[in-house]
Amino acid sequence: MKELGAIDKQMITVFNKIDAYQPIQVHAEDEAHQLTLEEFKNSWMANNNSPAIFISALHKENIDEFRKLLYDHIVAIHSVRYPYDHLLY
């Protein structure tokens, strides 16, 4: 982000292909343990202090939530830049 000059911009992290998420088995005798997507999302957001969303474009999971998240961020930016233009809200 630094090379793009966007280090100070808010970032939304999108994880796609949640439909392909599989547990990882470390050893054959170990029981597979994985974080749920909600646990991973909470840990990611806690460490990065930025919104994260998990989607499956294939199965159309969380697409509406993704659109709403983007729209809300766009409205927030727009209302600061153009405080008297209520086109988006």
pLDDT at 34 over 80: no
Q: What percent of the chain has pLDDT over 90?
A: 21
Give domain status of residue 77, yes or no.
yes
| DSSP, res 89 | -
Tokens 């392909």 found at: 20
Reported as a pLDDT band with limits 50, 70 and 90, residue 83 is confident
Is residue 68 a part of any domain in this protein?
yes
Residue 13 CA to residue 16 CA, distance in Å, equals 10
Residue 3 in domain: no
Q: Which domain holds residue 56?
A: 13-81
What is the count of structural domains for the chain? Answer: 1
Q: Rounded mean pLDDT of 39-67?
A: 82
Would 89 be classed as within a structural domain? no
Structural domain includes residue 37: yes
Residues contacting 32, CB < 8 A, separation 6+: 23, 24, 25
Amino acid code (one letter) for 66 = F
What's the rounded Cα separation, in Å, for the pair 65 and 68?
5
